[in-house]
Amino acid sequence: MSNNINDDDVLICRCEEITKGEIREAIRKGATTVTMVKKLTRAGMGLCKGKTCSKLIQAIIAEETGIPISKVDFDVQRAPLRPIKVGTLANYEEEDLVSEEVCSRIL
């Protein structure tokens, strides 16, 4: 088990620079879901919106708490899927929702 290895310095969320140790600390404080870890540490709040780290965090929660990984609640998905300019949000029209660029970013 990786518990025996001191890997607390491993970076899990690259956008917000959150380490495995910080995530373990959040779990010790009672976080049992990816959303709760996010709120306690900011992991997953950066530009990529947790695309890289969410699954890793889910695994760390399972490893630390013994909850089966399939039972660890994933993060709530929030629009937009990818960062989008505030100006684009301001100007899109209903018809644009069929345009690929806006559609893939907003919905």
Binding site for other proteins (CB under 8 A): 30, 36, 39-40, 45-47, 49, 76, 78-80, 83-87, 89-92, 106-107
Tell me the closest approach of the beta carbon of residue 45 to other proteins, in angstroms.
Answer: 7
Closer Cβ to other proteins, 3 or 95, answer by number: 95
Q: Which two tokens stand for residue 40?
A: 């306690």
d(CA 47, CA 78): 13
Closest CA to 78 of 40, 45, 41: 45
Rounded to the nearest whole angstrom, what is the least distance from the CB of residue 56 to other proteins in the complex?
A: 19
